[in-house]
Structure 1
């Protein structure tokens, strides 16, 4: 595997030729459009299979999978052009295997209103699907926003275990602190909350619960731990999986990585999985900064690895970018969120060369616009395949369980190409395509 950084004058054809692959494979593995020019500084992944097969007359996807003792989903992952295909044709080349080194758990986060075509592309690569559709409300009740029945059944058909994602967020993505403490402080309300959770898990056919933990700190830690203990016992008795998603609020202060000091050993006793995800829920108040930092996250994982079993630790990957207007004004400035592909396209539109921050392992660029004749400077931070590769190396170095992805509502082929090249994807359910 190689990550290639586009230089001025590069084309898809020239890069493919220099790396001994077809332009079609370069396009497919990177999810790029042949008709669009590349951007200097753009990162591309180049992967080589260990085994391929040329389709013969009479072959089907099922017969090829059976011949090489691989699953239908493995064949889909290795050949993304098959997402919407029922047939294969003589002369086509299929990738049978990559040089995978072990297996990985993946957990994709998605709202229930996700486009079906986007979801179908991601499901072959997922172990879990966290359906971001449930918020706790007053007195232990739960609000469900959209009908997720079809999403849950579709996930199961691809062998993906659906998880009920529960938060204490408003629809604007803001933490409801009054509600949060109402639930933490009242045995009656958190018992009712658990009763409602179990009912939804059963009725909807979820595999388990993924709970977004907001504002956990030293002052409320014991309240949270008490809640986790109750939830853990009930969920285990009922046969459900229990994951929590934490944003540890990592920061670099005086060359030291700082974060909220929590009892991670106690937390890990009560849950089956902990997803560590650096992400600004709702709006991003700033200041402009890397979307995620490999340096901070690696240091944090190194600190907690003595307390949390590696097979319970999942590293989150935020697939997002932010466009800031400068100068930044605390309390007033807000970032415009961008998909990764849109960030690259914007760099092309404004003629910017993509730069790379080695400490955080994230790309950025600057550009200028104007309003009423006044110049406005912009700074864009986002994630690319180099960032994904750096975060994935933490998984390897600490032998962690896997990767959580916020979010999968916009498909990002480069990431899946990398994960599928390196690992077999764990599937907990049989599927029935």
Structure 2
């Protein structure tokens, strides 16, 4: 695969002619809709005849998805995954498991058919749909509640065909840090005894002493020992209510990885990768501004429709652009094959286990093609 950045005057036909690739492949691989317009600065993935990707680094690839994912997107994506984390199961203060509102059985079966491990994602959501640290406190400090939840997790995984559990708890109170680590270790022991794996999601810390509710309740070293694997949630620097910036700026991601590998064996670590971007209106006003979440393909179409040139930030290693619509200026940050290539290089250079995508609800075909050209994707044993 080769990455080509569109210049003024380029068309799909001229690029195809220059590189000896088919117009159809460019259109399909990069999801370019009719009438096949391009934006100056957009990055295209090209299949160069006779060239083969390295395919040497063995990588684990996880993707999170909700049960309302379309069958088309799911089936297009599964060949590139090692595991599928289905979002999500909750629980009550008594430890009773709460299934997703939509039956997820079709996702489990589709995953198994593609030799992808279906993973049950456990979250402490309250009635408002937000992370609830009261629920976490009740669970991790109450043995009977833990026993009930672990028993129901094991039963559900066996009944449904899951092959592991992912614990995604956020905003853990600092005083519950060690109890949460103990809960993860206890759940892993029970899961491993039945042949299941356990992973845990970690907020993106850069030091032991980092303050803030996202960070103080997560003991990297302890959780690295307690879990089979961890996901570094290396995204959301640019977020809905924050100022315009890259969602996963490479310089910030590197800080997290370099701290993490001092606490956790690299072969246990998956790098978090965002499959989305944000569109902010300007000027940004803290407490008032709210960005719209957009897909990476959608971001390029916004640039095309508004005749905007896509730029590439050399520090964040992320694409971005500005445009004006109805008299309002906007700033957009998203991911493309250039920014993803840099993240893939991190996985290899730091010897990480692989990566985890939040989330796979929108198809970004060029990402998956580039990934398959860069890595040998681990698969669960057939059958």
- TM normalised by structure 1 equals 0.81
Residue 125 in structure 1 maps to residue 80 in structure 2: yes
Selected match of 1:382 from 306, 312, 334: 334
From 113, 117, 124, give the equivalent of 1:157: 113
Paired residue for 1:101, among 47, 51, 56? 56
Distance 1:243 1:165 in 2: 9
Counterpart in the other structure of 2:347: 395
Counterpart in the other structure of 1:199: 155
| Partner SS, residue 220 of structure 1 | helix
Closer/same/farther in 2, CA of residues 171 and 130 from structure 1, 3 Å limit: farther
Helix, strand or coil at the partner of 2:33: coil
Determine the structure 2 residue equivalent to 1:58: none
The 2-side partners of 1:104 and 1:191 are apart by 34
Shift, 1:250, TM fit: 6.5
**Rg: which structure is higher?**
1
Q: Is the 8 A contact 1:247 1:279 kept in 2?
A: no
Q: Which residue does the alignment assign to 1:61?
A: none
1:98–1:360 distance in 2 versus 1, CA, 3 Å? closer
Q: How does 1:6-405 map to 2 (within 5 A)?
A: 6-33=6-33, 35-48=35-48, 50=50, 98-144=53-99, 145-170=101-126, 173-216=129-172, 218-248=174-204, 263-280=219-236, 284-370=240-326, 375-405=327-357
Which stretch has the larger CA shift, 211-220 or 315-324?
211-220
Distance 2:74 2:25 in 1: 22
Kindly report the root-mean-square deviation, in angstroms, between the aligned alpha carbons of the 2 structures: 2.3
> 1:171 and 1:408 mapped to 2: Cα distance?
25
Residues 279, 98 of structure 1: alpha-carbon distance in 2 compared, 3 angstrom cutoff: closer
Cα distance 1:214–1:49, how it changes in 2: closer, same or farther (>3 A)? farther
Alignment partners' CA distance in 1, 2:215 and 2:187:
26
Change in CA separation of 1:239 and 1:294 when aligned onto 2, cut-off 3 Å: same
The structure-2 alpha-carbon separation of the partners of 1:261 and 1:305, relative to structure 1 and needing over 3 Å to count, comes to: farther
CA contact (8 A) 1:156 1:429 kept: no
Query: Tell me, what secondary structure is at the counterpart of 1:175?
Result: coil
> Residue 89 of structure 1 aligns with which residue?
none
Contact 1:12 1:34 in 2 (8 A): no
Using the alignment, how far apart are the partners of 2:170 and 2:217 within structure 1? 15
Q: Any conservation in 2 of the 1:210–1:245 contact (CA below 8 Å)? A: yes
CA distance in 1, matches of 2:340, 2:356: 11
User: What is the match of residue 3 of structure 1?
Assistant: 3
Secondary structure at the counterpart of residue 213 of structure 1: coil
Q: Is the 8 A contact 1:249 1:278 kept in 2?
A: no
Q: What is the alpha-carbon distance in structure 1 between the residues aligned to residue 173 and residue 352 of structure 2?
A: 24
8 Å CA contact 1:249–1:260 kept in 2: the answer is no
What is the Cα deviation at residue 268 of structure 1? 1.3
Q: 1:41 to 1:313 in 2, by over 3 A?
A: same
Give unmatched runs, 5+ long, in structure 1.
52-96, 252-257
User: Structure 1 pair 261/178, CA: closer, same or farther in 2 (3 Å)?
Assistant: closer
Are residues 160 and 171 of structure 1, via their aligned partners in 2, closer, same or farther at CA, if it must alter by over 3 Å?
A: farther
Q: Equivalent residue of 1:139, what SS? A: coil
- Tell me if structure 1 keeps the 8 A contact 2:62–2:85: yes
Q: How many residues align?
A: 375
The Cα shift of 1:138 comes to 2.4
Alpha-carbon offset, residue 421 of structure 1: 0.8
Verify: 1:421 aligned to 2:376, yes or no. no
Distance of aligned partners of 1:269 and 1:36 in 2 relative to their CA distance in 1, 3 Å threshold: same
